[in-house]
Amino acid sequence: MSDYASQEYYLNRELSLLAFNERVLAQAEDPANPLLERLRFLCIVSSNMDEFFEIRVAGLKEQIKLNVLHAGPDGMPPRQIFTLVSRSAHGLVERQYYLFNKVIIPALAQEEIRFLRRTQWNATQGEWIRSYFFREVMPVLTPIGLDPAHPFPRVLNKSLNFAVELEGKDAFGRNSGTAIVQAPRALPRVIRLPRDVAECENGFVFLSSILHAHVGELFSGMHVLGCYQFRVTRNSDLFVDDEEIKNLRLALQGELPHRHFGNAVRLEVADNCSREMANFLLDQFGLGADDLYQVHGPVNLVRLMQTPDSVDRPDLKFRPFLPGLPPAVGKEGDMFKAIRKQDILLHHPYQSFKPVIDFIRQAASDPLVVAIKQTVYRTGTDSALMEALIAAAQSGKDVTVVVELLARFDEEANINWAAKLEEAGAHVVYGVVGYKTHAKMALVVRREEDRLRRYVHLGTGNYHPRTTKLYTDFGLFTCNDEMCNDVNDVFGQLTGLGKAGQLRHLWQSPFSLHEQLVKAIRNETRHARAGRRASIIAKMNSLLEPRIIAALYEASSAGVKIDLIVRGVCALRPGIAGVSENIRVRSIVGRFLEHSRIFYFYNDGRQDVYLSSADWMDRNFFRRIEACFPVLDPRLKKRVVSEGLKPCLRDNCQAWEMDAAGNYRRKTPRRGKPYSAQGRLLEILANVAPGGQGA
């Protein structure tokens, strides 16, 4: 496979991630989407870009600082990547704010949803806002004048701040000329006006506008020359020394506060900011000109994310729906009885997550259940599942929970749940230091007649009730003895000590998943070379691992038909003559975040189907504990293919196809009716309410 290791065959990870965010931005630009959903997509882009800078750009800057010359598979050194990333990111942000100001805001105003700028306030609105400032804003502000006794303050990561240029002397005769005002996070960034004041059904004003209008009240007797909002993004990757820590939870609790004050990586300022002030701020944060993002509007669009939910206009949102239930679950109130009859497949969000919650709740209250084991990666601050596990432990059941404390940006919530579980008497372990526990597994042991029977749930997504309404994922219930034994063995690895044994059905990282996938790809290659039909269909979030990509290139060269549905980052180049001409790469970006991982191998007619928690990335194969499990029931296997793969390959509305240069082109209906994978699955699996728009 060394023939396929050439740098020209690999795309850059950071640039591919920016291309994904361009596809998300295209959803905000698409007039076919409901207007308030377009605003939400615009905010999602900002949220994604925040994490991109906090993690990916921060990593690039560290490599540049350390003079790292080692290039990835694409062959580009960090400094070159940063230059290209900066150029692309600036273009994306410019496009984003143009859409916000020139399209979204005017279109919302036509629907009587108005964001009132300072220049638009009438006397009544100005008086209400002034009263709000003195009542709600001014009491919590602490302006800091810069002088030798008041150095530049520590600025929290992603917080809203104002740099104020002043003229005159204060009560002590000081004349620094500059002050910083930090907006506490407790203050809302978007304030709803009363209807009679707004003179429309939904009127809003930005906190930044309120502070701009009244900032002079903070500096009595001085003249404000300028007031400029700014926001700094910092390196937010946590560092925990695997070799030094004695208690992972305590180490992480000590590290979390530093996330707010890591090295600066990006400075966002309003477009009215003077060049002198922008340079002053760049100097304070140790940043260069390429790190400056000057925007027309609020420097933090993420704070508008909840606005669509606060506006009662269902006609401007996606149609609501009620998730369906498989017949096997709908008929049986008893989850254990239902699972004994047959394996059960759930396809979220089209089908309800409630059976998973019921499974754990019933296990917690069932006197025949003796033990419950579960992994927790992301579950949220308010979780019915965690409450059920706590109740089970309090009732005397043997409850073991593997809590991944290093789930990025969910560390604090997981630490809190771990403490509550321990207080309730559960066994809480943090997996294996150095390997994130990313597998999604729940195991229940129940005494039935003269034996102990195991039941398991395996999933491609998190045990997070909120995201199961937004992410596409599969979950499988089974009491198959061999599958249950495999899951029990993995829990044994996580909680105990000893060698990893041979699993019967599961492919597991970091031990066998990578090896088994390469083996399955090579198996298709052999079938193709022997003149037999050979095909691979794989769906995932990201595709980066070089040896997997090389194996796919080899398979393509042998004639294997390969369809890759990669939502986000993809380093593989399709369509290269003699290398990847049999590979097609497409990305689905729509109402729901495509999150399921599905691997299909034709295997000379056996049609093997696997579901997994793992993407095809180095970290998932070698630095995480992941589970990849087969769908053994032929009926359910057909469902996974017909619901999880075929609709994505047929989609001509929300699908984007990649060319060999890494550019994406959106599919459009040419003949026949438009076909949306997500829209079709809502129709056949869920109950969609009338009204609203789109999928």
Residues with a catalytic annotation lie at 438
Side chain identity, residue 22: E
Q: Are 458 and 475 in contact (CB under 8 A)?
A: yes
Q: If we measure between CA atoms, which residue out of 530, 585, 511 comes closest to residue 552?
A: 585
Q: How many CB atoms lie within 10 A of CB 91?
A: 12
674 cis-preceded (ω within 30 degrees of 0): no
Cβ neighbors of 246 (< 8 A, separation 6 or more) are: none
Q: And the tokens for 545?
A: 């691992």
Q: What is d(CA 654, CA 586) in angstroms, rounded to the nearest whole number?
A: 10
% helix, strand, coil for the chain, step of 5? 40, 25, 35
Q: And the tokens for 8?
A: 């020209």
Q: What is d(CA 621, CA 287) in angstroms, rounded to the nearest whole number?
A: 35
143 cis-preceded (ω within 30 degrees of 0): no
Q: What is d(CA 304, CA 323) in angstroms, rounded to the nearest whole number?
A: 27
Q: Phi then psi for 495, rounded to 5 degrees? A: -100, -20
Q: What is d(CA 329, CA 326) in angstroms, rounded to the nearest whole number?
A: 5
Give, as one character, the DSSP assignment of residue 10.
Answer: B
Q: And the tokens for 501?
A: 């044994």
Q: Phi then psi for 595, rounded to 5 degrees? A: -130, -15
Q: And the tokens for 618?
A: 């180095």
Distances in Å between the Cα of 99 and the Cα atoms of 28, 85, 104, 119, 269 are 8, 21, 6, 21, 18
The alpha carbon torsion through 145, 258, 15, 543 (nearest 10 deg) reads: -160
Which residue has tokens 């005017």?
106
Annotate 505-521 with DSSP letters as a single string: S-EEETTTHHHHHHHHH
Both ends of the chain: CA-CA distance in Å?
Answer: 43
Q: What is d(CA 237, CA 619) in angstroms, rounded to the nearest whole number?
A: 15
How large is the angle between the packed helices 546-558 and 513-529, nearest 10 degrees? 10
Q: If we measure between CA atoms, which residue out of 254, 596, 612 comes closest to residue 405?
A: 254
Q: What is d(CA 211, CA 219) in angstroms, rounded to the nearest whole number?
A: 12
Side chain identity, residue 426: A
Q: What is d(CA 89, CA 542) in angstroms, rounded to the nearest whole number?
A: 20
Query: By three-state DSSP, how is residue 611 classified?
Result: strand
Q: What is d(CA 521, CA 583) in angstroms, rounded to the nearest whole number?
A: 13
Side chain identity, residue 66: L
How large is the angle between the packed helices 58-65 and 78-99, nearest 10 degrees? 150
